[in-house]
Structure 1
Amino acid sequence: MSDSRVKQRCAIKFCVKLRHSATETYSKIQQAYGDTALSRAQVFRWLKAFSDGRNSAKDDIRPGRPSSVHNDANVERIKELVCSDHCLSVKMIAEQLQLNPVTVHQILTVDLEMKKISAKFVPKNLTFKQKEKSRAICSDLLERIDTDPSFFPMLLLGMNHGFLSMILKQNIKVSNGTLQPHLDPKKQE
């Protein structure tokens, strides 16, 4: 509910206490709030409610299902569920949490910024740790290229045959996000 509407209702309540007429109250609301003012019917309805003894300017709580289940609690529930099992479909998540599939899809794609890749929901962007690991690997590669002129052609060759084959051929070990030469004790003998 808009804060402006509550303020207008409080102004209407004030006019009731001053015993202003409905038309006079409506003109004052129009003058004070301009284009955002409540309609004539709404001003008259709230004026009657306050005249009949109503004290609260807020809407009454209505029974039934909430108009929107798109809230922080459901976003968190969906996030926990997807983190525990990336292979869940939108329909499966909706059934488990008893939510509308459209709402679940919107929360996944908009709020959690995830997209579906080959039956898994994954974040669209890298996490901070993934970015740091990627930076460390790239820095190590650049340093290795600077120190060893033959490394770059081998790197390109490895990219043509797959990164894994380059790592295996060069005896390079990926550890803690960095590339390190791996010396085989059998080959040294």
Structure 2
Amino acid sequence: MERLLEQQYAIKFCVKLGKMGKETHDMIKEAYGDAAMGRSGVFEWHKLFREGRERVEDDDRSRRLSTSKINENVSRVKNLLNHDHRMSIRMIADDLSIPQTQIFEMVKENLAMRKVCTKFVPRVLSEEQKANRKVICQDLLHHVNEEPDFLDNVVTGDDTWVFEYDPESKRQSTEWHTPASPRPKKARMSKSKQKSMLICFFDQHGVIHKEFVPPGQTVNAVFYVEVLTRLRKCIARVHPAIVNNWQLHHDNALSHAVFRVVEYLAQHKVAMLPQPPYSPDLAPPDFFLFLRIKLTLKGKHHTSVEALQGAMTRELSSIPVQAFLETYENWKTRWQQCVDAEGCYFEKF
């Protein structure tokens, strides 16, 4: 007890000298060794003396510092966090005049809370949009259960931009190093201005049709109808067995949903598989094909648009049939995940 009182005098002396909390703790530890006061205790006393406390002796047991960690204070901390989930431990401690170490214990142990990063999603869905996603997925699952080969004649596709140079992701840049090695550094880089738009359609057996949009060409209704005409010819050549009963799946882009496109598909008796709006997690081109080819092209420089297009063509050709089959199975799994999540975005997409 006397040893602790002696250290409390030493802490007060350090505060008078203008020492910081860490400096004070280091000096106490060096002077008293194994008998030194704990880090949290040094910081608590340092804070009290810095705020004007003169009394060095401990308060009566009923008023000891540790008693601030009571149910009332836990409730106060919880109320602050409910009001603002971004408050830091320091801000809470300053607001409630309770040491940071005790605030940390209350948050981690009593409230069982942890800080999590925000997850980016394509869109903050309304309740109506969530319900729509769930209904569409339930309907598609019903068709699959009634007809096991329901997806055999479904062709899906979309368009995407691919850049001549797209920087590697942070995960792709990871390297193995020993603890003594310095952390590797790389300059922040942007995507190149030169790019090419790829339009690609595929089924569970592989790519059926792909083309690159000419520079300066807008993907409008007129152009998209021309693309669909070329797609129909490819299906007749590659899969003649489904040429009269294939179904098209694409997203809800304006050029896909206009009357001219809908009328063209109706004239040629092409049914459309429904796709919920703002749902890349339910579109195979987004969660599989484009993600795969872009990941392999990241960090690679291409000397021209033609070289980029050649690289994309090779990547598409290298994807095995098994990958497409697994994607269609994964597609059905994602419908179920969406239903289980009540129409919300699920964890991975």
Could you tell me the TM-score, scaled by structure 2's length?
0.21
The structure where helix makes up a greater share of residues is: 1
Higher relative contact order (CA 8 A, sep 6+): 2
